[in-house]
Amino acid sequence: MQTLTIIQPDDMHLHLRDGDALKAVLPFTARQMGRAVIMPNLKPPVVTVADAQAYKQRILAALPEGSSFEPLMTLYLTDKTTPQLVREAKAAGIVAFKLYPAGATTNSDSGVTDLFKLIPVLETMAQEGVLFLVHGEVTDPDIDIFDREAVFIERVMKPVLAQVPGLKVVFEHITTADAAQLVSEAGDNVAATVTPQHLLLNRNDLLVGGVRPHHYCLPVLKRESHRLALVAAVTGEKAHKFFLGTDSAPHARSAKENACGCAGMFSAATAIELYAEVFDEAGALDKLEAFASQNGARFYGLPENPRTLTLLKQTQLVVPKVPFADNEVLVPMCGGESVAWTVQYSD
């Protein structure tokens, strides 16, 4: 049986929610990942150092006994964010600010309405070495939803990089060939996270044969040519600029399976197995460790995790549902289906 042992991965883009929802989903990530960059789009959002510190304590309190998992905290960028707050965040060990264009995705109503008014804030991030995490979509109602990322690159990303050339940017959950090209051609201060769904699925998986609400995420799945471009990017010549970020986003099944189903896919239950499937199919298993365990740590200036994780080339059936908050259930990505790899846990 084929086995693959890698340095324990990090999830550089994760939604944990809060309260009972946090307690339900955190063990999945804590079992696989050494660290995770925690998204700040709670209700209300995590906008101050005190907010982030309190949220971190709630995460640590919810960890399974004996876990060494480390949450890496971020703040939600708003129109009111100041350079002083950036300096305070740096001093407190907060690793990044997250840009949500207002209205772009779940819990983004408090997001930024005009990023160019925050250039002094971005300049302070560059000076302090605080990372800038970007949900890269425009939200203009006249822009087709499948074009939002490409338009954002031209209207926002390229001008901002030109104005603040020292800014360290992670283009989050990229979905297009356009984004892969931008990151590949940019300087070493620009990198990207890529999700399992955008590497494994295309928009046919969302829409053909009936709408599949559990495949609805934002940014939305794109056409097959874009999926192939992402696979080529994470396995290609500039692969060091791309790293694991699941964007795992738990929503109750009732919130997904209704007339206005919410965006987000819960992939934390089998995250590394899904990525292994991508790299295996691409004939690039030798590059999985760098993508999952080294590239992100290096970009964030962190040491590699001291533990390892072993994968077996052994089919497993993903559970069709897992318990969630308020007596609800979650449907995991590929729930009820088989994946080709299994993690060999010691327990």
Which active-site residues does the annotation give? 247
Amino acid at 252: A
Binding-site residue ranges for Zn(2+): 13, 15, 98, 135, 173, 247
Binding-site residue ranges for substrate: 15-17, 41, 135, 218, 251, 263
Tokens representing 111 are: 């997001």
**Residues 18 and 278: beta-carbon distance below 8 Å:** no
Amino acid at 265: M
CA distances in angstroms from 262 to 222, 254, 258, 274, listed in the order given: 18, 10, 9, 22
Phi, psi angles (nearest 5°) of residue 89: -65, -45
**Residues 35 and 305: beta-carbon distance below 8 Å:** yes
Tokens representing 137 are: 């979509």
Binding-site residue ranges: 13, 15-17, 41, 98, 135, 173, 218, 247, 251, 263
In this structure, what DSSP letter does residue 42 have? -
Q: Buried b vs exposed e over 299-308: b needs ≥16 C-beta within 10 Å?
A: bbeeeebeee
